[in-house]
Structure 1
Amino acid sequence: MKIFKYILFLILIFVIGGSIYIATQEGHYKIDYEETINAPQQMVYNEVLDLKNWEYWLPWSFTKIEFKNIKNDTIDINKPYLQWESSVIGDGNLTTHEALAYSSIVQQLKVENFLGESNGKMYWNFEAIAPQKTKVTWGIKGKKSFKDKLAELITGESTIEQLKPKLKEGLDNIEEVVLRKMNKYNITTEGVVQYGGGYYLYSSTSSKLSQISNKMRPIVQAIDAFMNKNEIEKIGNPLVVYNEYNTSNNSVIFSAGYFTSTQITTPINSNILSGKIPTQKALKTILKGNYKNLEKAWQKSYQYIEENRLEIDSTRHRFQVYLSDPDKVVNPAKWNTHLYIPIK
């Protein structure tokens, strides 16, 4: 009987001592991971802000995930809310509380599993380090419950050791998802149309076909500044006219500029000139997507001409009109470009 009492006493001492040991362990945690994602700041920020996207890149598996809006109790606004069920990490939810456009997001996190309830704060920071590069910091911080500390003791892994690889995996997944969205494109040949033509101001240069979109930007900007300075009205969007095309080395001489309402006389020594695209029949093709797909769009246009036995008017130049401003439309998949090949 005395032995039994001694055993109980030792067990009690062990439990009390263990509880004191666990309770005195570090009570707070903060873990974050930083990674550079090859995508514009606005696109990465929007990917994270829209909780409907999370199921495609979260590094944990779920049996059920649901998005909805909840009404804040004190402020009359809707707050994005994500709820999930998981046999791996436990059931939980996440609410977005603060969002500073393109810069930062703060969220409240709650997870319930067999060890009890755990609460934390999730935070995101986005910093543009180049037009197509964003430094992203994803972090979680909070206070450990007694059960959290016990779990660390049992598993032999700290909260930081458990979370850090997952944060990296999540950021890798975000980059993959965003790049997949950016690389989408569609080419549609609309057939022969009547193009109205018009006068335009332009400058010319030579380039590889793949570099046209990059080389035309400073030209267009210079012409835009010239037109603003001289109070000349711009009509429509920037255009590129292919003056010469060398298929052997895939190089072109092209002109880039803006349409004008009337013919404009420019200074004699100016490299900005006035030209005219006549009213004509032309095969029209629409590229929706990154300019790197322009060559594919031209190839599809010429394939359409061959298949439909159309005759190209070789006395006139093919041209393309840019309907999207990349400075305003950050997702290349949404850029619109119209291509025209003169037809007899």
Structure 2
Amino acid sequence: MKILKYLLTLFLISGAIFFVFISNLESSYAIHKSIGISAPKEVVFEALQNTKDWNLWLPNLKKTSQYTDTNNVHWRANNRLITVGVHKQNTPSFIEHQIKIEGHSPINSSWELSQEHSQTTAKVTLHGQLSFWEKILSLWKGYPNKQLSSYLEASTNINNYLEQQMNVHSIKIKNIGNQPEQWIISTAITSLSIADSAAEKLVLLAKQDSLILQKSPFILSTKENYHIAYLTTSVVPDLPIDKEYQIRKLPNTTYVNATLKGGYTYLPKAIKEVENYAQKTGYKISETLPLKLQLVKGEKDTKNPANWFTEIWIPIEQKSIESLTAN
């Protein structure tokens, strides 16, 4: 009987010592990793913010029957339910997610983004608080360092994913058609990246002079420059010549209509494909008329060039009989 009491006392004392030992272990943890990503930080931020597509660069994530709710996306990995939601963000330099893994305390995943040229450096930190049982796991199975390090390693896949995404593009030639003569109001721009702000300014200038603009803005492009333009009414008032814009008439024109899904760097390739198509159908690219671009979806809508969508109208002329015979 005394031996049993002794063993019970020893067990209770050992349990108390173990409890005190575990309780005094550090609860907070933080695991860090730096990742180099060949994409602008705005594109990286957008990919991190879009938690619905995380499985495109974290292949272990599988969709669940209850895939999304108002604030979170639910995944399954290694037979555990994983819930991800944006916790904090400071566009486009910082974003933090709260990740809840079934059976574990919440984990905060912070991404601090900095950019030099076209390269983004992401400082990723996983941090949180261990429960009592997780402290025991930390002694037994090295939790959370061992498990979360695999997540950090998998996160490097975002570089390959975005690198491929940045180069995705498609060109589609739709048809040949005519556009009647049109009055336009336009102003020169230095690059396509300022098209949206230039269009807003042009609207204000036109309003001051009581000009009525029609439909959406488009871009006229020649070898020398770009102009942002709107269609306007055919009745044009007499205006001083020192305006920040010009009004002119585009003649009746035959165009090849094509679309480009992808970054503006692929515009020369799209134009070349249209030129080849025009030549095969008995036309040539006009050397005097500008081509028209409409930025249906651009940098204002998404920072990822792979998702930009541009309508292209390239002016063409029928080849002369002599050139057709020569070909």
TM-score computed with the length of structure 1 as normaliser: 0.68
- Write the distance in 2 (CA, Å) between the matches of 1:325 and 1:123: 30
Per-residue Cα deviation, 1:122-175 (whole angstroms, up to 9, x for no partner)? 455788999x979786644132333x33443345x563x436644543543335
Tell me by how many angstroms 1:183 deviates.
Answer: 3.8
Partner of 1:248: none
For residues 171 and 227 of structure 1, the distance between their equivalents in structure 2, rounded to whole angstroms, comes to: 49
Q: More deviation in 99-108 or 260-269?
A: 99-108
Q: Which residue identity does 2:27 align to in structure 1? A: G
Letter in 1 for 2:131: K
User: Equivalent residue for 1:143?
Assistant: 130
**Are the structure 2 counterparts of residues 312 and 125 from structure 1 closer, same or farther at C-alpha, using a change threshold of 3 Å?**
closer
In the TM superposition, residue 187 of structure 1 has moved relative to its aligned partner by: 0.7
Distance 2:113 2:146 in 1: 26
Assess if the C-alpha contact under 8 Å between 1:34 and 1:135 holds in 2: yes
Report the alpha carbon displacement of residue 277 of structure 1 after superposing the two structures with TM. 1.3
**Aligned partner of 1:281 among 254, 273, 277:** 254
Which ranges in structure 2 are unaligned for 5 or more consecutive residues? 319-327
| Aligned equivalent of 1:67, options 60, 64, 67 | 64
Partner of 2:239: 266
Worse-matched range after superposition: 99-108 or 296-305: 99-108
Q: Which residue of 2 aligns with 1:74?
A: none
Q: Map residues 134-283 of structure 1 onto 2, 5 A cutoff.
A: 139-146=126-133, 148-154=134-140, 157=142, 159=144, 161-162=145-146, 165-166=149-150, 168-204=152-188, 212-214=191-193, 219-243=198-222, 245=223, 252-264=224-236, 265-283=238-256
What amino acid does structure 1 have at the position aligned with 2:234? T
Partner amino acid, structure 2, of 1:68: S
Given that 1:81 and 1:93 are in contact with CA atoms closer than 8 Å, whether structure 2 keeps it comes out as no
**Structure 1 gap segments, 5+ residues each:** 72-76, 112-116, 246-251
Q: Residue 308 of structure 2 aligns with which residue?
A: 334
- Residues 94 and 107 in structure 1, CA contact (< 8 A), matched pair in contact too: no
Q: Give secondary structure in 2 for the equivalent of 1:323.
A: strand
Read off the aligned partner of 1:143 and give its amino acid letter: L
TM-score by length of 2: 0.71
Evaluate the alpha carbon distance shift between residue 261 and residue 68 of structure 1 in structure 2; reply closer, same or farther with a 3 A threshold: farther
RMSD over aligned CA atoms reads: 4.2
State the alpha-carbon separation in 1 of the partners of residues 96 and 194 from structure 2.
Answer: 36
